[in-house]
Structure 1
């Protein structure tokens, strides 16, 4: 009967340790929003916990109560278990002849230590912690009543420990922190979103949108702009009929106007204003309907450009290079497409970013960002010297390529399929079924 009571007391001590571990991790992991919902539905315990998780000082005291409970139960378990179990094991070890009394006591102590440690860590720490993190609010509510009594009992000890800790920190010239909430950086949020997407917590569309928004906060406008070689512009000397025809033959409703050269853009003209001039048949000049346009540096973050256009009610911005010249342009639609993907309307006739052929070759548009190609096709193409896949191919070849010219980059062979002037419009590469599938999913 002696050994039965000993085992029962050990089980109770491990259970006490498990209780405080559960209470600590469940409370810390509880979401204020869920506790608030439970509180609004009349759950008084949830209201009690909500006040704790929203107040750093109260939460510190609550966690301190758990820590004191864990420490006391662990110490008692160690002292009691070592004393009682050693007395049970020692006679057995002596009977099998393991040497002197000192050796027997040492072996007995080691066996008890290993036994208690295994059960303490497994049943008193790991399992309660994992369960508490899976069902935080439910277990926090279940443990709250006993925790209130524990807080009353342990309050003198907590006061002594907290006071001693603060005094020691001041001696070491460390300022005690009033706040301990962790603020996640965009990079950390991106990792959390990707983990939630991989774990099935987020739907594919939710994951894609959140991922795009967070990546947009880190990208520069240079990475998404329309380069100057692809900009549709017009000189300030152009006649009204010619400008109307230029816009009519394009998918755009606005066009930048430059004086003498494209590096000297003086504003933009809207198709609506041109039609009003034509209908009125008056002598208004293009300069009278010229609208101002903001200029932004190529290093400006996409999110900041978006805020600028949104707050100032602009539809486009001219991107400047480091010398003050025109590097390209970006529209509000371009920025929105970074979040929602390609926004097509009935007038869009743009070539898709990816197109699979019957012979399992994948055609890739030359102006697509290298980062997108790497992400969609699981490649590791260098991004240091070029922004687009067409620019990378051009830099690697080292001259203006001809059609069907091929080049190897990191053991991957790319072929030039279409040119626009001296720029690369389309390339192709031999692709796996998985790459083609990923490309189609990206377009969808």
Structure 2
């Protein structure tokens, strides 16, 4: 080797530095590549993605072949650089070669190629796989020996190189992934995906219509009043009860009674005959569970009960779907808005408004752990039923109670501190 022309030695050294850059960039590119995109491309039949995925199935072997190649070319380059330096500067060339090669390898063989690979992992990993796959086959016995020795060293720490790593996304990680998708995912679709992820955190009592707002028919009312109520009804299903909402007789579908209303043949016996068995669910049922329960039972409306069996409210399939896609219908029976913006930046909010709806509409973060409505939140925080004109603060939200009636807060003026 020392008798070879200097130009050949320098050319060989440059070639080895290029190989060092290749192995360094391959290592970073392979490790930095998006595994989920890689699997997607592999399923679509991309050959480079399939090769890369097969290499990453055993990262211990992949790293083994890369490091064997990288260390081999670096050591060989060091020997060549020493020979070249000695021939040029004598014995003092050893120190020059050590310092010079360290700098050159660091810049051109490590930092630069690894930075490029980290920025463009696919563009580096896919072509590199064409070299690494056959190289792994050639060096397989050496790689196997190195991995066996390494596995013996790692075994006391409970590490098994052949085991699959934790490569599954949790719901919170998936939420972060959806939030950071940016323009690649339209805002509405992003909202729907987040809505699906939120279903497991929300229970039916968070979205139900409370019992005092449930629209139903008291079978003990006068038949003329009942008929008038049926003609003005804007719901497709409603509960029929006797005297009190807890004494449910059944659920009435307006489609079954519409023809009789036209013929004016409605009476209490007919109504009772057309009612169906009510469907009850516990208040603590998560929304994602209830969605499947609706599908399984072929029901669309459920009565929510507490641990004592008392009616707490009513929830429909539409209510759950709106948690995913947003409000896609308008409740024509609701003639007033729960949230009314004011010119000074504050809001007049109905005491019966859902805290979750307020948070979603205004982007606030009012606590929803215990109370469900604004009235419940304020009375729970103050621990008394307040008088009108009382001011209070919850976190950074300030409010002024405007009206109290029947031991309930009817309306309140609210704003975030610093917005006025």
2:64 to 60, 63, 68: 68
Is structure 2 residue 399 aligned with structure 1 residue 410?
A: no
Distance 1:161 1:29, change over 3 A: farther
Match of 2:214 in 1: 231
Deviation at 1:78, TM superposition (A): 5.3
Distance (Å, rounded) in 1 between the aligned partners of 2:231 and 2:404: 24
Q: What whole-Å deviation, never above 9, does each CA across 1:295-331 have from its counterpart, x for those lacking one?
A: 1111111112122223322221111112221121101
Q: What whole-Å deviation, never above 9, does each CA across 1:11-60 have from its counterpart, x for those lacking one?
A: 441233213433554484643433454x4xxxxxx34643773x6xx642
Q: Is the 8 A contact 2:241 2:249 kept in 1?
A: yes
Is structure 2 residue 29 aligned with structure 1 residue 22?
A: yes
Distance (Å, rounded) in 2 between the aligned partners of 1:173 and 1:411: 48
Is structure 2 residue 41 aligned with structure 1 residue 34?
A: yes
Distance 1:15 1:141, change over 3 A: closer
- Most deviating of 74-83 and 337-346: 74-83
- Most deviating of 250-259 and 424-433: 424-433
1:131 to 102, 120, 137: 120
Deviation at 1:394, TM superposition (A): 2.6
Q: Is the 8 A contact 1:402 1:416 kept in 2?
A: yes
Q: Is the 8 A contact 1:247 1:253 kept in 2?
A: no
Give the TM-score of the pair, scaled to structure 1: 0.75
- Most deviating of 75-84 and 15-24: 75-84
Distance (Å, rounded) in 1 between the aligned partners of 2:315 and 2:179: 28
Match of 2:3 in 1: none
Q: Would you say how many aligned residue pairs link Structure 1 and Structure 2?
A: 407
Distance (Å, rounded) in 2 between the aligned partners of 1:143 and 1:387: 57
Match of 2:376 in 1: 391
Q: Is the 8 A contact 2:251 2:278 kept in 1?
A: yes
1:281 to 244, 265, 274: 265
Match of 1:219 in 2: 202
Q: What whole-Å deviation, never above 9, does each CA across 1:117-163 have from its counterpart, x for those lacking one?
A: 5665522434313311xxx2x54443332233212222222333455
Q: Is the 8 A contact 2:65 2:136 kept in 1?
A: no
Is structure 2 residue 367 aligned with structure 1 residue 370?
A: no
1:254 to 226, 232, 237: 237
Q: Is the partner of 2:347 in helix, strand or coil? A: strand
Give the TM-score of the pair, scaled to structure 2: 0.78
1:314 to 284, 296, 299: 299
Deviation at 1:288, TM superposition (A): 1.1
Q: How does 1:81-96 map to 2 (within 5 A)?
A: none
Distance (Å, rounded) in 1 between the aligned partners of 2:266 and 2:34: 74
Distance (Å, rounded) in 2 between the aligned partners of 1:425 and 1:309: 34
Distance (Å, rounded) in 2 between the aligned partners of 1:119 and 1:216: 51
Deviation at 1:273, TM superposition (A): 3.4
Distance (Å, rounded) in 2 between the aligned partners of 1:251 and 1:355: 24
Q: Is the partner of 1:292 in helix, strand or coil? A: coil
Distance (Å, rounded) in 2 between the aligned partners of 1:244 and 1:356: 38
1:304 to 289, 296, 304: 289
Q: Is the 8 A contact 1:293 1:314 kept in 2?
A: no
Match of 2:50 in 1: 50
Match of 1:143 in 2: 128
Q: How does 1:416-431 map to 2 (within 5 A)?
A: 416-417=401-402, 421-430=406-415
Distance (Å, rounded) in 1 between the aligned partners of 2:16 and 2:160: 42
Is structure 2 residue 315 aligned with structure 1 residue 330?
A: yes
Distance (Å, rounded) in 2 between the aligned partners of 1:174 and 1:275: 70
Distance 1:424 1:82, change over 3 A: farther
- Most deviating of 352-361 and 370-379: 370-379
